[in-house]
Chains A and B, each alone.
Chain A
Amino acid sequence: MSGRDRVLGRIRRALGEPGAGGAGTGRAPVEAAAGEDGIPRDYLRVHGDRTPAESADLLAAHLREYRAKVHRTDEDGLAPLLARLLAARGARTVLVPPGLPPSWLDGAQAVRVEDRADSTPYALDAVDSVVTGCALAVAETGTIVLDGGPDQGRRRITLIPDHHICVVRVPGQLVDSVPQALERLDPTRPLTWISGPSATSDIELDRVEGVHGPRTLEVVLIDAPAQ
């Protein structure tokens, strides 16, 4: 008997499948259960009532609490800000995802490096910084989510360099809560939820920022121009 048949057979006996002679007391057919799963979903969709500006402030506060650096600017201020952040870091090279708007890096001194199919992890390890967009951000938890979209690139590029700058458009890419975030995400895409820089509390539960992922995370919030 295959492992599959054995495991499934044991589950059915354990749950008292009709005729299986198990210990259970029988169960409702799963079709009925699938429609009415009896799960109480009366928990909150969002915790609190906020204006878009308040949500952006909350995101910034929560990101800072987990030691991310947060910057606020508008569309026109983005390129100068990114140039300044890269210069301050001393970045000589910067990884760019294929769909990053070229104007974002106007004026940046760092040499642009593309993530090509044959780029090895060693090659990426030699790059100083990476700049990406994001799929969305979650204010209540201080989280940004990447889904591998064209302005974010493959998962490895936001992992190997030690410095990640992530641009979030508010309010367009900002949601308040985790339930709101899941509604907007596509589970077939590779998803990376990032809440602050890499950290560990494994030594005497002292939090230390930076183990394997980028040790410095900078989040740039671009506020939409007032309507």
Chain B
Amino acid sequence: MTATHLGMPAFPAAAREAVRDDVLRANLRRATHTIRDKRARAVTELADWDRLRAAGKAVKDHTLRHLDHYLLRLEAAVTAAGGTVHWAADATEANRIVTELVRATGEREVVKVKSMATQEIGLNEALEAAGIAAYETDLAELIVQLGHDRPSHILVPAIHRNRAEIRDVFRTEMGRWGRPAPDGLGDDPRELAEAARLHLREKFLRAKVAVSGANFMVAETGTMVVFESEGNGRMCLTLPETLISVVGIEKVVPTFRDLEIFLQTLPRSSTAERMNPYTTMWTGLGPSKGADGDGPAAFHLVLLDNGRTDTLADEVGRQALRCIRCSACLNVCPVYERAGGHAYGSVYPGPIGAILSPQLRGTGSGIDASLPYASTLCGACYEVCPVAIDIPEVLLHLRERVAQGGPVTREGIRVRIRPARGHTAERAAMRAARLLLERPGALRAGERLLSRARRLRPRRLPGPGSAWTDSRELPRPPREPFRDWWARERGGRA
């Protein structure tokens, strides 16, 4: 994975900076609270939500368990429908394949549908280095690209920008990329969307090559599925002559019927809608093999590994590959709400990013080693996940790996990593916790001592602990340890 943001500080340092940014915090708080409330209502409409969630989890687990089989089936189906399948073990390979495919068309520009996979591999930068301009066409991605910025949310990448900032970006930057913003552009979202419509339409109408990702790929039929709202996806998927889709290998599902689960759970989890405005499904070049001119005349599918098989090799961590990128976990996370997406140093922010990035990229860098700690383990992310990824479980698993080292798979090879430096304190803390939890007697004695000494509780911790109590009240120990209360109140009963 190449897209570690260069010089990215570890999560605590990056988060500290973000938390001081009042505008960012206000934008994030408003946005995440709005959408989490709407999501809760959309989910309540379906009486069988828990069963849909269980089925989605089971489909993904089953597919991952037989991933080689389903990828080969997919390859055969896409090929039979007139498409061409390419396999990329890492970002460099994927970027090389896409660059060569674009070069072969003789074109110097491509239009892009929002895609996490192409951001992950840094495709735009690779194309730029090859002299090919890549235009993002999703409104939020356009805001990010024009603003020389980085995305901070999976679904709404410009969530950290408010309308006035967006207007300023449009006014100063649009003209350098194509049609300038209209004179006197205001900051009403309607006006801003209209400016984007005009700016991008000229690009859609002339585009010969498009690059997309996909939300799902159906092994049985070779069908690709893209969920979107604005219509930029439909423009890119249907107007250009050549379509190149870069898709992570974990996006495959066995059958067309399996989509009935995700068509119900994904829109409700991501935009909190019953259904997103547009979903496009296409199978290779269609029944006429491209002869009817309905859609591109050439379709290339680039299947991307880039750390996914390494993640698959970890029996606890592999559940992260069930992710359907809905971003519900971001919107409920107290840490994300305060720190923002940039602090995660990856295209995958929030709780899912904290378990996905360190697995896709390994825990070698400071940011990746600190990500498993970017959580309070409150469990809200697990509650809302439409494929029931137990994010707290994987966080704890990764913390242990970072602190203690152990066997991992990197680029297909089993290696043993050493305990990360700089995590001595966490290691000590975890050892202490285990010591106590494994010795109930010592824990009970310690708890009683705390209860009796509660009047003597200091307001601030001494030494290194003082950094923690600078901004927090030290919790007041209970009058009586829970275990004692339980024994007294419920002692005789089961």
Contact = CB atoms under 8 A, between A and B. Distances in A.
Contact of B294 (A40, A148, A199): A148
A203 B193 contact: yes
Given A39-B55, A192-B234, A202-B138, A23 B315 contact: yes
A13 B62 contact: no
Interface string A181-206: 01100011111111111111111111
B274 A62 contact: yes
A212 B312 contact: no
**Most interface-central of A7, A11, A15, A193 (chain B CB within 10 A):** A7
B274 A140 contact: yes
B197 interface: yes
A171 interface: no
Contacts of A3: 86-89, 93
Contacts of A41: 55
A142 to B, nearest CB: 6
Contacts of A24: 313, 315
A204 B234 contact: no
B485 interface: no
Interface size class of B (residues with CB under 8 A): 35 or more
Contacts of A143: 275
B277 A7 contact: no
B51 A196 contact: no
Given A125-B201, A191-B281, A211-B230, A14 B309 contact: yes
Given A33-B66, A43-B55, A121 B139 contact: no
Interface in B1-53: 27, 30-31, 34-35, 45-48, 51-52
Interface stretch (B124-132, B255-263, B340-348): B255-263
A178 B35 CA distance: 23
A204 B234 CA distance: 24
B475 to A, nearest CB: 35
Contacts of B68: 8, 11-12, 15
A99 interface: no
A117 interface: yes
A214 B277 CA distance: 11
Contacts of B34: 205
A190 B224 CA distance: 10
B293 A154 contact: yes
Interface string A1-23: 01110111111111100000011
Main secondary structure of the interface of A (DSSP, over half): loop
Interface in B60-82: 62, 65-69, 71-72, 81
A179 B81 CA distance: 25
B160 to A, nearest CB: 11
A42 interface: yes
A43 B158 CA distance: 35
Interface residues of A, number: 76
A127 to B, nearest CB: 13
Interface string B261-291: 1011000000101111111111100110000
A199 B294 CA distance: 24
A204 B48 contact: no
A201 to B, nearest CB: 7
A202 B158 contact: yes
A190 to B, nearest CB: 5
A141 B275 contact: yes
A142 B275 CA distance: 8
B214 to A, nearest CB: 14
B415 to A, nearest CB: 12
A49 interface: no
B395 interface: no
B260 A30 contact: no
A23 B274 contact: no
Interface in B82-136: 86-89, 93
B232 interface: yes
Contact of B231 (A38, A141, A211): A211
Contacts of A13: 313, 409, 412
B357 interface: no
B192 interface: yes
A190 B292 CA distance: 12
B303 A27 contact: no
Interface in A131-163: 138, 140-143, 148, 154-156, 159
B355 interface: no
Given A27-B65, A40-B54, A122-B205, A178 B282 contact: no
Interface string B138-160: 11100100000000000010110
28 contacts: A6-B412, A7-B303, A9-B412, A14-B409, A23-B414, A30-B69, A37-B59, A39-B62, A40-B58, A44-B47, A47-B45, A121-B239, A155-B295, A156-B238, A159-B231, A178-B260, A182-B257, A195-B274, A195-B276, A198-B229, A199-B229, A204-B163, A205-B159, A208-B189, A210-B197, A212-B231, A212-B235, A213-B234
Interface of A: 2-4, 6-15, 22-24, 27, 30, 33-34, 37-44, 47, 62, 66, 117, 120-122, 125, 138, 140-143, 148, 154-156, 159, 178-179, 182-183, 187-206, 208, 210-214
Given A44-B48, A148-B286, A200-B140, 20 more contacts: A4-B87, A6-B305, A8-B71, A10-B312, A14-B409, A22-B313, A24-B313, A34-B254, A37-B62, A43-B48, A44-B47, A155-B294, A183-B257, A187-B218, A191-B282, A192-B234, A198-B277, A200-B139, A202-B156, A206-B189
Interface of B: 27, 30-31, 34-35, 45-48, 51-52, 54-55, 58-59, 62, 65-69, 71-72, 81, 86-89, 93, 137-140, 143, 156, 158-159, 162-163, 166, 189-190, 192-193, 196-197, 200-201, 204-205, 218, 221, 223, 229-232, 234-235, 238-239, 249, 254, 256-257, 259-261, 263-264, 271, 273-283, 286-287, 292-295, 303, 305, 309-310, 312-315, 318, 407, 409, 412, 414
